Amino acid sequence: MNNVIIIDDDKELCALMKKCVEQENLTAIVAHGGLEGLRLAADYRDNSSLIILDVMMPDLDGFQVLQKIRKKSNVPVLMLTAKSDEEDKVSGLQLGADDYLTKPFSINELMARVNSLIRRYTTLNPAADSEAATILLKDMVIDKINRIVTVRNLPVELTSKEFDLLLFLAANKGRVFTKKQIYTQVWAEEYAFDDSNIMSFISKLRKKIEPNPEHPFYILTVRGVGYRFNREA
């Protein structure tokens, strides 16, 4: 699941950010303090795409929280601050923040940065084996250089976009993606299409790679959210 952890002691702002994040088909998890935020970051360490972190909090400030998060995770962190002081921003970035937003900010700018950070993280941090020229899966081999796919040692003929779609999902094995996220990653365009297009591509791809397309093993549907590549593959 693409979880976004929001850590901010401003409950009204948290509620607004949560609503906006969920409109992007992401799951928002809220903490109203630094200590609670650290617990959530630990609980969802392998299952979060972004942390939105306020600097000024009563129990543990955002810089302290960020330092502790960076010891265990490289998840993107978007810091929020009421200060426009350059030194404050530099400190956060040096500690490992990925981006900074000064309060007050527009919701449109917030969501643009949220989507940008998640997209960048997904692209630059796929599953570890995706760094190799070949992805080895259960009964499937994906040759990234020659763009060849074999299933049970038999070559599978895929269109260029079908290959790109399969490679993207397989390289991020276990991660859940919305149809919008898949489209912007694979087609590298803004989301402006009918969901049925992605569903059609998935259906065609399943018919080519799945032993039983009616009960897929590789590309799994996450109802109400999107798709993920089977972690067990």
CATH topology of domain 3-124: Rossmann fold (3.40.50)
CATH class of 128-229: mainly alpha
pLDDT tens-digit readout, 95-126: 888 888 988 899 999 999 998 888 777 665 55
- Judge whether 9 and 33 are in contact, CB under 8 Å: yes
pLDDT tens-digit readout, 129-175: 344 688 999 999 999 888 899 999 999 999 888 999 999 999 888 88
- Judge whether 182 and 226 are in contact, CB under 8 Å: yes
pLDDT tens-digit readout, 218-232: 999 999 889 999 999
Indicate the domain borders of the chain.
3-124, 128-229
Rounded Cα distance, 41 and 35, in Å: 10
Topology agreement, domain 3-124 and domain 128-229: no
